[in-house]
């Protein structure tokens, strides 16, 4: 048995399971592992939307559970356990995570969503090795996840409620327990059954064996990636549209498959030295290789959007690859590879019946959806991609070249075709729909009777302002070619009576009169000379007591996300609240206040002082 040699290494160690789950305890006990149970007090309130995939959320939750127990036990007696095991099991339908239902109605909603469909069960596992040095706790974390696909039969309302009234769903992720009555709901399981019960024993055993007996380099080269198609199937394409993520590298678990080459969860340094003697070999740089391959995932997404792949699957899925290729007029073999990688990235669901959109794809990647980001994908592919290919030049030529990159791209856009302008407008329209409400409500603007949105493009923010403040008259001031095309983005409603579009150049023409001027996601795109010229013109047009509302990307310390601010490479470094205050005060605005607007933006409001 795989675990037996590992038990010999752990039998004199203090092993703790950071979970009260009787199912996990039973699985590990039956495997012969001796441990004590200390349930974690970690509040499972991580922001799900901030994780790129459901399994990333499960892994992070498992890690935080284990670290909380390790820290608490160390605080209690200044001696931490040797090993703490944390786990978190979730059910996911596409990108939507289903955890434990809060009541019977919630359980019904979950089970109805699963009824007759395939879904994924993910368990994230963290193995924390602890040691105490000079009263301080040191930890090293190894983590992984396992995915199992489960298919529910078509179930009647009567059967669903009979199961819910049994009480079993209430403490189960996804609202069912496969090891008990919930097993009658399940048509088939692909993958590790125990993973659905609550703990992926087989993968856990492999992880322990790998931690204590790291594979030789020759073994690493023989690892197979059976669960997800390798991205190198695209790399011999002559078509420049080819490209994609390397799911074989990026996935930590897969459906019962092996780990990616040299997973970043290598044996802890102290433990490795104790078991294997002094070994100077560096850890395998999987994370770095994943980073190098990251551009492929973006190109796969951009290509799928450009082909309108998600539109085809919106109403007609699930479809087999050959049917998708016929509708797109593309090569069947290459289309299947593209579909497989999209499925591995969580954009599509793949079943025996074919491919269909995940919920996030239907919501954001279908071109005619209310919350579609199709325009953003197309614009990034056509233009921002090119900006980043010139990054070396920008870095060599200095900060101003970098800060002005998007501004220069904007000027380039205006000199080119109508289609290019429409692409820009579609991208800005999509992003504005995500942020406009947050910007409009960051402050109480009811004291203003009129507003002018400079560079307001399709008028999304203007519409939100008019809806939020019933007496506000709003002017959208943008270039003639933009205002000419803006009609194609409008929809009816009483708010439109209080919105007008005025063509003009805010660097050259007189600004429309208004009590409040608005700049949303504009200042960061311009070099300093143009930025100060624009603010000076606004200050001259704004009457004492009038206002300037600025919405810009939040500085990193403000933002909810801790991911790298890649946008700063093409549009300048986000300003801190103090920098915003100084900038507006320099141009005659006082009482400058700063507020957050959602996860990405900060909003600044300044009042024009008397001259």
Q: Give the pLDDT confidence of 246-265 residue by residue, as tens digits.
A: 333 333 344 333 333 333 34
Of 164, 155, 165, the closest CA to residue 186 belongs to 155
The CA distances from residue 20 to 42, 82, 130, 336, 365, in Å, are 12, 19, 21, 43, 40
Residue 48 has pLDDT above 60, yes or no: yes
Confidence (pLDDT) at 572: 55
Confidence (pLDDT) at 243: 37
The C-alpha atoms of residue 550 and residue 543 are separated, in whole angstroms, by 17
Confidence (pLDDT) at 221: 46
Catalytic entry in 88, 272, 340, 381? 88
Radius of gyration of the chain measured on its C-alpha atoms = 28
Was domain 3-212 assigned CATH 3.30.565.10? no
Confidence (pLDDT) at 344: 86
Confidence (pLDDT) at 86: 95
Residue 143 has pLDDT above 70, yes or no: yes
Confidence (pLDDT) at 393: 67
Confidence (pLDDT) at 138: 85
Give Cβ neighbours of residue 346 (< 8 Å, ≥ 6 apart): 52, 53, 54, 94, 95, 358, 360
510-524: average pLDDT: 88
CATH code of the domain occupying 293-369: 1.10.10.10
Q: Tell me: the pLDDT tens digits for 65-107? A: 999 999 998 887 767 789 999 999 999 887 788 878 888 888 8
Q: Which residue has the higher pLDDT, 170 or 405?
A: 170
226 pLDDT tier (thresholds 50, 70, 90): very low
Q: Tell me the HSE value of 387 on the side-chain side, using a 13 A CA sphere.
A: 26
3-state helix, strand and coil shares in percent for the chain, rounded to the nearest 5: 45, 20, 35
269-291: average pLDDT: 60
What is 507-533 written as a DSSP string? TTSPPPP-SEEEEES-GGGS-HHHHHH
Confidence (pLDDT) at 262: 38
Residue 6 has pLDDT above 80, yes or no: no
Confidence (pLDDT) at 298: 85
Q: Which CATH architecture has domain 419-608?
A: 3-Layer(aba) Sandwich (3.40)
Q: Tell me: the pLDDT tens digits for 328-342? A: 888 888 888 899 889
Residue 217 has pLDDT above 90, yes or no: no
Indicate the domain borders of the chain: 3-212, 293-369, 419-608
Judged by average pLDDT, the poorest of 263-272, 329-338, 510-519 is: 263-272
610 pLDDT tier (thresholds 50, 70, 90): confident
Judged by average pLDDT, the poorest of 271-280, 347-356, 517-526 is: 271-280
Confidence (pLDDT) at 371: 78
| Max avg pLDDT among 153-162, 219-228, 573-582 | 153-162
Confidence (pLDDT) at 595: 85
Confidence (pLDDT) at 216: 54
| Max avg pLDDT among 398-412, 537-551, 555-569 | 537-551
Residue 151 has pLDDT above 50, yes or no: yes
Instruction: Note if 88 is an active site residue.
Output: yes
pTM here is 0.45
Of 335, 328, 361, 324, the closest CA to residue 244 belongs to 335
Interstrand relation of 499-503 and 354-357 (parallel, antiparallel or unpaired): unpaired
344-367: average pLDDT: 88
């Amino acid at each position: 048995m795989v675990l037996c040699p590992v038990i010999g290494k752990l039998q004199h160690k203090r092993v703790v399971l950071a979970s009260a789950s009787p199912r996990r305890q039973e699985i590990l006990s039956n495997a012969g592992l001796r441990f004590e149970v200390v349930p974690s007090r970690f509040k499972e309130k991580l922001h799900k939307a901030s994780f790129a995939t459901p399994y990333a959320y499960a892994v992070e939750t498992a890690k935080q559970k284990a670290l909380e127990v390790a820290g608490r036990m160390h605080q209690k007696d200044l001696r931490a356990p040797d090993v703490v095991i944390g786990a978190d099991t979730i059910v996911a339908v596409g990108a939507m995570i289903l955890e434990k239902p809060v009541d019977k109605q919630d359980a019904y909603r979950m089970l109805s969503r699963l009824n007759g469909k395939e879904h994924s069960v993910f368990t994230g596992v963290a193995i924390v090795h602890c040691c105490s040095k000079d009263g301080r706790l040191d930890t090293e974390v190894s983590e992984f996840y396992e995915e199992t696909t489960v298919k529910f039969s078509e179930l009647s309302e009567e059967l669903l409620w009979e199961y819910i009234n049994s009480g079993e769903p209430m403490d189960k992720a996804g609202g069912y327990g496969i090891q008990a009555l919930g097993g009658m709901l399940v048509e088939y399981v692909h993958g590790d059954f125990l993973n659905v019960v609550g703990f992926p024993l087989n993968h856990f055993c492999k992880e322990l064996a790998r931690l204590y007996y790291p594979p030789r380099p020759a073994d690493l080269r023989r690892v197979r990636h059976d669960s997800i198609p390798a991205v190198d199937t695209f790399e011999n394409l002559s078509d420049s549209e080819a490209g994609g993520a390397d799911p074989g590298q990026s996935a930590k678990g897969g459906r019962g498959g092996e780990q990616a080459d040299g997973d970043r969860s290598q044996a802890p340094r102290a433990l490795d030295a104790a078991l294997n003697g002094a070994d100077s070999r560096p850890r395998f740089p999987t994370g770095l290789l994943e980073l190098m391959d990251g551009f492929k995932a973006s190109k796969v997404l951009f290509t799928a959007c450009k082909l309108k792949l998600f539109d085809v699957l919106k109403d007609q899925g699930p479809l087999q690859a050959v049917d998708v290729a016929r509708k797109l007029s593309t090569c069947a073999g290459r289309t299947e590879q593209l579909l497989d990688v999209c499925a591995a990235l969580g954009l599509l669901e793949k079943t025996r019946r074919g491919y269909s959109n995940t919920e996030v794809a239907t919501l954001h990647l279908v071109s005619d959806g209310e919350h579609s980001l199709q325009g953003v994908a197309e614009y990034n592919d056509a233009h921002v991609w090119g900006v980043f290919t010139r990054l070396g030049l920008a870095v060599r030529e200095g900060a101003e070249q970098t800060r002005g990159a998007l501004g220069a791209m904007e000027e380039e856009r205006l000199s080119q075709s109508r289609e290019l302008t429409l692409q820009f407008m579609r991208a800005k329209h999509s992003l504005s729909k995500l942020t406009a409400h947050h910007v409009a409500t960051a402050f109480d603007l009811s004291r203003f009777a009129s507003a002018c949105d400079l560079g307001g493009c399709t008028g999304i923010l203007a519409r939100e302002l008019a809806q939020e403040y019933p007496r506000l008259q709003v002017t959208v001031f943008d270039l003639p070619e933009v205002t000419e095309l803006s009609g194609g983005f409008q929809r009816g409603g009483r708010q439109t009576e209080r919105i007008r579009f005025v063509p003009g150049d805010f660097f050259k023409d007189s600004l429309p009169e208004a009590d409040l001027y608005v700049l949303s996601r504009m200042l960061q795109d311009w070099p300093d000379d143009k930025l100060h010229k624009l603010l000076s013109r606004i200050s001259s047009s704004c009457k004492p007591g009038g206002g300037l509302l600025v919405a810009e990307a939040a500085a990193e310390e403000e933002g909810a996300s801790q991911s790298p601010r890649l946008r700063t490479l093409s549009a300048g470094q986000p300003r801190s609240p103090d920098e915003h205050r100084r900038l507006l005060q320099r141009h005659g605005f006082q009482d400058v206040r700063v507020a957050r607007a959602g996860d990405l933006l900060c909003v600044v409001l300044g009042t024009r002082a008397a001259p």
